[in-house]
Amino acid sequence: MIFFPVLAAIFVPILFRKLKSIHTGWFVLIIPITLFIYYTGFIQTTMNGGHAISSLEWIPSLDISFVSYIDGLSLLFSLLITGIGALVVLYSIFYLDKTREKLNNFYVYLLMFMTAMLGIVQSDNIITLYLFWELTSISSFLLIGYWYTRDGSRFGALKSMLITVFGGLMMLGGFVLLGIMGDTYSIRELIANASNLVGQEFFILALVLVLLGAFTKSAQFPFYIWLPDAMEAPTPVSAYLHSATMVKAGLYLVARFTPVFAVSEVWIWLVTGIGLLTLFWGAFFAVKQTDLKAILAFSTVSQLGLIMSLLGASAISYHVDAGTALFKFAGFAAVFHLINHAVFKGSLFMVAGIVDHETGTRDIRKLGGLMGVMPISFTVAFIGSMSMAGLPPFGGFLSKELFLTSTLALKDFNLFNFSTWGIIFPIVAWIASVFTFIYSFYFVFKTFAGKRKKESLSVEPKEAPVGMLIAPVILAVLVVVIFFIPNVVGDTLVNPAVVAMQAGLYSHPSEVLVHVSAWHGWTPELLMTLGIIGLGSILFLTMRKWQPLYNLQPELLSLNGLYDSLMMAGEKGMNRLSRLYMTGVFRTYLIYMFVSIVVITLATLFIKDAFKVDFNSFAPLNAYGILTAVLLILSVVMILTAKTRITAVIALGGVGYSVAFFFVIYKAPDLALTQLVIETITVVLFLLAFHRLPELKRHGESKGFRLGNFIVAAGVGITMALVALSAHSQKLIPSISQFYKDTVYSEAGGGNIVNVILVDYRGFDTLFEIAVLSIAGIGVYSMIRLKLPGKGSTDESK
């Protein structure tokens, strides 16, 4: 079933081209609805503590296959993905124009994304999980850059791509380490063997890498910076990807791997700490924003941080006795708030889209007083915002109470230094909640209340069409419904998810004894909520006075500035670096090569202690040899000190003939013959080339002396001499030549060993050497004869 959307996506472009009159979205809408109904069927199974597995073999030899494993947690996510997916598709039908937009692209990307998300939450195999993970990055990249003619879209798409793919790759590293340590790629088996993993060498590294993946995807501090820029996407995309589904993939990952990593102190501190930091940071900066969607983006970041910190707290339940149920409570709170957030944030994004669509701007400074003209949108926005702020009678209130209870419990936890530092958690959580309250009010009242600013709007605002309102209204109704029947939601969805998340602690969903109620007495958390409302209201009413404080923060010191300067520095640095060594001068590259040869060879000689000279293995010197060597050396010196080219050419001939003498002395008549003839022809060719040097470039003066060249040349010479000496002194295996001597007549019917080797024993080499010769001939011919017309005048070969 995972692949259903992406397979259906094949037909989208066809439908888009053939049926112009009907909005393509209507066809697409069928898919998430079907899937939603299909997944609803599993609720009964998971409520009874069961699960459903189906698998599809992919690479059996590497133990990689698509295993779809549906338990409480994956079912919850699947329902969110398909349910909100259906609503988003419905919304997009009215949001995107069927004639102006490239709907075929849009829905294909969207369906691709849906498959990827379902794949993430249902995969039991970590390799396929990674596969789907990257598919969400890619499809989200495509969706953010949907309006690819805008600079902002491309910038946002690139930024989110870079950050999430960075995290994805880190995560892959963590997965591979996990796979090696646990000897399996199956998440269920990893969870079952979790106790074996602890204390292994790479356990902490794997933990941090997996967390990096989760933090980048879920926009945690400091990786949240891509999310506000991703708001350039069409609003249905923002509502779907950047509030309800993709950004929760990281949360899913953390929840899924809690049973594996929860035993570690690092995990608890990192997840809880980063979560709280993100919660505070996002809430704090959301108030600074002036763009509707940017406010929502920062609020998403903040809420994700809240859920993340709850997930971290829930991992503590592995360390405390069964009697202290408080930390299991945190797991329940996390999942419950996850549902709440998906519901209200989806509706809020849709409202922001409606406002944008109907007024032509998302700038909150230009908006105001829309309550009268857009009553339904206002109601939805109000419900969503109040739920976000955590006020009764909306779903958000319940999850906020649960959250405060959990943070209060954290400060009493006395393992891992929590008894010392734990007090920070409820304080930070409380301050963050105050800011959450402020931006929720800021969002809804600055947009809808106050006076109409007619002059700042280009169009006359009016209520959105009914179709566009259906989806947000459904979500808003859900927000209220959840408040009144939290325990129904808890029993059907949350408890099975908590059981999956805290595997090994429960055996049946009904053991999760969390009872949510709107009124639970005069508890500290209720007092905290009252405090939030009080302080929040005061700060909201005096907002105009203290909001300029935000301008004190210089743009460069923000994380975005850091990202920008990092990218700039990277680009510039790489440019400078490559310009530094890619000089384009042939001499430089030669020096690189020679120096590396010298360094590598000498280092090997030194490290392996391979240098050895055995004087006994040398043949005795004779007078002819010495004489020829002197001749050779004289010729070489002459080449190097030659004042004119012609001297050098002739001296080179001298070198060649001395080498031929050497061949004579060392009894190689074939070589001597060939060397003589070849040397003659080479010298003739050199003279031909010398004769043809162009007039202007002719410079008869001697080459300058360069110390660097001298050192490199001397280094290469000495290195090669050392290698030759030691290679000669230690022969590891006997030579093969005795075989040739013995068989040259009996096997090959010849007397000249050299020639018989050339044409018979190893004729293959000769075959390709003559091929090389032919290519050289044809090459010279074509270089000289075939000149392209028009280029001939500047051709160097002329």
Partner 1 sequence: MKVNDVVLQTAAKVVFFIILLFSIFIFFAGHYTPGGGFVGGLLATGAIALLLLAYDLRTVQQLLPFNFMIVVAIGLLLSIGMASGSIIFNVPFFTHAFDDFYLPLFGATSLHTAMIFDAGVYLVVIGAAMTIIQAIGGDS
Interface positions with partner 1 (CB under 8 A): 669-670, 673-674, 677-678, 680-681, 684-685, 688, 748-752, 754-756, 758-760, 763-764, 766-767, 770-771, 773-774, 776-778, 780-781, 784-785
Residue 560 or 766 with smaller CB distance to partner 1? 766
Q: Which CB sits closer to partner 1, 322 or 776?
A: 776
Least gap, CB of 681 to partner 1 (angstroms): 7
CA distance 429 to 407: 7
The nearer residue to partner 1, 549 or 685, going by C-beta atoms, is: 685
Percentages (nearest 5) of helix, strand, coil residues in the chain: 75, 5, 25
- CA gyration radius, the chain: 38
Please say which residue, 639 or 758, places its beta carbon nearer to partner 1: 758
The minimum distance between CB 788 and partner 1, in angstroms, equals: 15
Provide the minimum distance between the beta carbon of 671 and partner 1 in the complex, in angstroms, as a whole number: 9
Q: How far is the CB of 756 from partner 1 (least distance, A)?
A: 7
Q: From the CB of 656, what's the least distance to partner 1, in Å?
A: 14
Evaluate whether 113 touches 219 at the Cβ level (below 8 Å).
no
CB nearer to partner 1: pick between 615 and 764: 764
Q: Which is nearer to partner 1, 518 or 778 (CB)?
A: 778
Q: Provide, rounded to whole angstroms, the least separation between the CB of residue 752 and partner 1.
A: 6
Judged by beta carbon, residue 537 or residue 680, the one nearer partner 1 is 680
Instruction: Give me the residue label for tokens 């019917």.
Output: 749
Number of neighbours of residue 560 by Cβ within 10 angstroms: 15
Identity of the residue, 33 or 759, whose beta carbon is nearer to partner 1 in the bound complex: 759
Question: What is the nearest approach in angstroms of partner 1 to the Cβ of residue 672?
Answer: 8
Exposure string of 660-678, with b = 16+ CB inside 10 Å and e = fewer, is: bbbbbeeeeeebbeebbee
> Which of 614/765 has CB closer to partner 1?
765
Query: How big is the CA angle at 502 (ends 501 and 506), to the nearest 5 degrees?
Result: 125
For residue 53 the two structure tokens come to: 């597995």
Shortest Å distance, C-beta 745 to partner 1: 10
Contact (Cβ atoms closer than 8 angstroms) between residue 92 and residue 101: no
Q: Which residue lies nearer to partner 1 by CB, 459 or 784?
A: 784
Least distance in angstroms from the C-beta of 666 to partner 1: 14
Question: What is the smallest separation between the CB atom of 748 and partner 1, expressed in angstroms?
Answer: 7
Contact partners, residue 403, CB within 8 Å, separation at least 6 = 306, 310, 333, 337, 429
Q: Nearest distance from residue 753's CB to partner 1, in Å? A: 10
Cβ distance to partner 1 smaller for residue 427 or 776: 776
Residues 80 and 118: their CA atoms lie apart, in Å, by: 10
Q: How far apart are CA 326 and CA 138, in angstroms?
A: 39
**Collapsing DSSP states into helix, strand and coil, what is residue 291?**
strand
User: d(Cα 296, Cα 326) in Å, to the nearest integer?
Assistant: 31
From the centroid of its chain, how far is CA 15? 33
What count of Cα atoms within 13 Å lies in the side-chain half-sphere of residue 599? Answer: 6
CB atoms within 10 A of CB 772: 9
Closer residue to partner 1, CB minimum distance, 543 or 748: 748
**Which of 136, 165, 307, 150 has its CA nearest to residue 223?**
165
For 464, residues 6+ apart whose C-beta sits below 8 A from its C-beta are: 94, 354, 357, 358, 374, 376, 377
CB 699 → partner 1: shortest distance, Å? Answer: 23
| Residue 70 phi, psi dihedral angles, 5° rounding | -105, 110
Rounded to the nearest whole angstrom, what is the least distance from the CB of residue 58 to partner 1 in the complex?
A: 41
The sign of the dihedral angle between the CA atoms of 97, 99, 101, 102 is positive
- Beta-bridge partners for 254: none
Contacts 24+ apart (CB under 8 A), 515-522: 515/487, 515/490, 516/336, 516/398, 516/402, 516/486, 516/487, 516/490, 517/486, 518/392, 518/393, 518/397, 518/398, 518/483, 518/486, 520/401
- What size, in residues, is the chain? 798
Is 789 strand, coil or helix?
Answer: coil
For partner 1, give the closer residue by CB, 593 or 771: 771
